[in-house]
Structure 1
Amino acid sequence: MKLLKLISTLLDYPDDELWEHGEELLAAAAEVDLPAPRGTALQEFIRTLLEQDPLTSQDAWLSTFDRGRSMSLLLFEHIHGESRDRGQAMANLLEAYQRAGLELTARELPDYLPLLLEFLSTRAPSEVRFWLVYINHIVGMLAARAAERHSPYALLFEILVELAESQVDMETLRHRASEEPRDDTPEAMDRLWEEEVVRFGSTPPDANGAPPCRPAFAASARAQGQPRVP
């Protein structure tokens, strides 16, 4: 499903290669099956992203997804936190990837949302729908929080919510997001570092400051000189 692969690419950390394939991203957005307002908004999201300096976009991504836990793209963190149940859920998802013939590196976490979307872009519609419904409440909460923070990434989460075609009360989630204390302020981050314990599968960023859990499939395509979105 081309739309899931496109959203996977756009939600992932925006490395410099994104700008090299800007025209392909815009072409893919023009071809996806979305209602006209959403399709137009998606193309505008991409244009705005491409017009920015890569360092600006990378800093915005880190500010959105890498400060605090409420906007984490690690899905099971929202479900299981740091409990042992998260480790078992990760193992089960990793097994699903392996059954499909996909191998992750030691630095890739299976519950990373862009990775899951990249995987689902190759799966049957029934499996896609199962997973989108399963994660829909998490994605809906991410959409609400992103909108509360005036982040353009809210659009991508909202599209995923709509693709799931399941009942999620976005008005309730938006109200909840509006009442939550922010966890990405300097004060909140200081408290988090003071209380932090060893986390499951934690890995430091690479030398370029990028997060450790980027899609294996995208990395494989880049290694072969292929764009991430055909």
Structure 2
Amino acid sequence: MNSERVSRMLRTYSLILDYPVYEGVSDFIEQVRSVMPQGEEAAEAFLDALACMNIVDVQKEYVESFDMNSSAPLYLTAWELGDSRNRGNALIDIKKLIASYKFSIVKQELPDYIPLILEFLSEIPYDEWPPALETRLQAYFSGIVGKVGSRLYSSVIEALGSKFRKREDLPVHEPVRADTGEMPFPVRYDGSDY
């Protein structure tokens, strides 16, 4: 696979999946088209749909698709581990992995933020991607594809699921919901037993 094309494809999807803070939809579309390689049908369809929307509607759809949807967060370890204690160590591991490739995180984001990871991978030749991270991303995109309730973003997620290879020799992280247990204090105040 052509490394330049893959790099441009990842930058395209990184822009698309980042929170929409741009002032005008048309400016954003122009920015994405400037890096988008030919033949990215999902990105093209996304931009066509976006052209008919205003920024407030785009932001609303983004928040409903990812921020308010616990089954499709844009944070890899949040999807894998939920709010468990293991997430902190997983974040540190991803940060160390990114730093080992001399990639510096300039955004004020956690290192497992999907657009940030896509941007990171866009700086690395395709054949040098960390195999475990690629497998995790393949599982992530395949795992959330049916859970993104947005027609605008679902085709993008589906397309990304096909971009990453699943390595059979590596374990796949399946999403885990944190076991928070029962509340520490009873909710009943009428004096009855549980």
| TM-score exceeds 0.5 | yes
Shift of 1:74: 0.9
Could you tell me whether the CA contact under 8 Å between 2:14 and 2:116 is conserved in 1?
Answer: yes
Q: CA RMSD in A?
A: 2.5
**Matched length:** 161
User: Kindly tell me: are residues 166 and 95 of structure 1, through their superposed partners in 2, closer, same or farther at Cα, counting changes over 3 Å?
Assistant: closer
2:152 matched residue in structure 1: 152
Measure the CA separation in 2 of the matches of 1:165 and 1:101: 23
For the residues of structure 2 that align with 1:11 and 1:104, how far apart are their CA atoms? 17
Moved more, 7-16 or 41-50: 41-50
TM-score relative to the length of structure 1: 0.62
- Give percent identity, aligned residues only: 24
**Mapping of residues 53-92 of structure 1, within 5 Å:** 53-92=54-93
Alignment of 1:22-101 (within 5 A): 22-29=29-36, 31-32=37-38, 34=39, 39-101=40-102
Q: What are the ranges of 5 or more consecutive residues in structure 2 without an aligned counterpart?
A: 1-6, 168-182, 184-194
Residue of structure 2 in register with 1:227 after alignment: none
1: CA distance, partners of 2:110 / 2:147: 23
5+ residue gaps in structure 1?
Answer: 168-194, 196-230
| Residue 69 to residue 26, structure 1, CA distance change in 2 (3 Å) | same
Q: 1:42 and 1:68 mapped to 2: Cα distance?
A: 22
Secondary structure class of the residue paired with 2:147: helix
* TM-score normalized with structure 2 length: 0.72
Q: Does 1:125 align with 2:126?
A: yes
- Secondary structure of 1:13's match? coil
Query: Aligned pair in 2 of structure 1 residues 73, 14: CA closer, same or farther (>3 Å)?
Result: same
SS in 2 for 1:116: helix
Aligned to 1:217: none
Give the structure with the higher percent helix: 1
Which residue identity does 1:135 align to in structure 2?
Answer: L
The answer to whether structure 1 residue 8 and structure 2 residue 19 are counterparts is no
Deviation at 1:18, TM superposition (A): 6.4
Give SS of 1:164's match: coil
Q: Deviations over 1:206-230 (max 9, x none)?
A: xxxxxxxxxxxxxxxxxxxxxxxxx
